[in-house]
Amino acid sequence: FPMYPLLFLLLPSTLAVTCFDSITGGTCCGDYCYAYRENGKSKIEETGCMIGEIYRSVNGKCLDESEKSYCYCDSDLCNNPNADYPNWKQGKLKCGKERNCIACDRFHFDDTLYDDCRLEEGTIFARLMQPQSCARFQAGKLSNGNNELVTCVCDKGDNCGKKLLEFQKLDSKKVTCLMGSGGVDTCKGDFCFIIGSEYISLRKRGCITNNETLFAGLFKIGYFIDRGEEHIICQSKNCNQNWEVAKQSVIINEPVCSTTTVTTSTTSTTTKSTSESIEEYFRRRWNSLIYSWTNVFNDVMLRLEG
Ligand SMILES: *[C@@H]1O[C@H](CO)[C@@H](O)[C@H](O)[C@H]1NC(C)=O
């Protein structure tokens, strides 16, 4: 009698897709492919792989932001940089002082309120926020004790974020997590997170609480790679203590693609392994990662702390 269950364990992740990868100039292996462009320009600027089940909610969508957009798909080479993508929408919404937004993002960080078009740049957390969703992120401790970002993304009318944000409680006590990049400060939320990888010495840790009524399942337990940056979302006490502990608290399914040779008009390359791609990403993207959303978080905190 053949031992099917054991054989199944050896099978690669069924999500695995081969994607065009503009960073390496070849292809990468991921769970979902993405194509990225700046609005108003027809050229696709960047293609690559996203890794993690968390992207299911954006699969098949082009997420319009005010200046930059990402499209996600899940079949081999679906992120062809020369293909026609559905036209990006022209936004019409007013969000605070901003005009022509596709979606509004109203958030308060510390005690300050912001009203903007949907955030344009950032990590997995900002990028997954879609109309209609609200979430609370806690990522560090400030001298005055206020250390939270509560944010709502919506597109149901001008300044739709105002009403939405007002009614957010998001005070889950499900799990206790560590926050900040060191030390023993804790927060409580639905999930713990840690951002970083063996290539980043400074890790960011904290709590996430999602409004499940507005957008169920926006955040999920697991391991995710977003444009080369590794994230873990876990849900047991202090599971985000450090990278090693966090890694042991989630199941990591690295997508495995069959080694294919992809020939485009100019190049002929073979698929790189995930770790090779990450390394490449970090070498090439370090400068733009510096400006990612979590760094905005840090910048604001440093400013307030200093
Ligand atoms: C979720 O959002 C709705 C709509 O704004 C709000 O009424 C509700 O209080 C929110 N839930 C939590 C837990 O904050």
Tens digit of each residue's pLDDT (9 = 90 or more) over 145-165: 556 789 999 999 999 999 999
Top mean-pLDDT range of 104-118, 143-157, 165-179, 180-194: 165-179
Instruction: Write down the residue that tokens 């969000």 correspond to.
Output: 95
Question: pTM here?
Answer: 0.79
Dihedral in degrees, nearest 10, Cα atoms 219, 253, 251, 221: 0
Cα gap 223→221, rounded to integer Å = 7
Encode pLDDT of 127-141 as tens digits.
Answer: 788 899 999 998 887
| 154 and 103 Cβ atoms separated by less than 8 Å | yes
Binning pLDDT at 50, 70 and 90, where does residue 234 land?
A: very high
Which atom belonging to ligand 1 lies closest to the Cα atom of 170? Answer: 14
Pocket probe mutation, ligand 1, options 129, 134, 160, 212, max atoms within 8 Å of Cβ: 134
Pocket of ligand 1 (CB under 6 A): 134, 164, 167-170, 211, 213-214
Q: 101-131 b/e with 16+ CB inside 10 Å = b?
A: bbbbbbbbbbeeeebbbbbbebbbbbbbbbb
Structure tokens at 289: 């990662």
pLDDT in tens, 11-46: 445 569 999 999 899 999 999 999 988 766 778 889
Residue whose CA is at the smallest distance from ligand 1 atom 6: 167
Reported as type and span, the H/E element at residue 243 is: helix 243-248
pLDDT at 302 > cutoff 50: no
Domain membership of residue 291 (yes or no) is no
- What domain count does the chain have? 1
Tell me, yes or no, whether 296 lies in a domain.
no
Q: Is residue 54 helix, strand or coil?
A: helix
Report pLDDT for 134: 96
Inside any domain, residue 292 = no
Q: Output the residue whose Cα is nearest ligand 1's atom 7.
A: 167
Q: Is residue 153 part of a domain?
A: yes
Whether residue 290 lies inside any domain: the answer is no
Ligand 1 atom with the smallest distance to the CA of 171 is 13
**Domain presence at residue 284:** no
CA distance 277 to 269: 13
Residue 115 per-residue DSSP state: E
Percentage of the chain exceeding pLDDT 90: 40
Domain span at 241 = 10-271
In a domain, 44, yes or no: yes
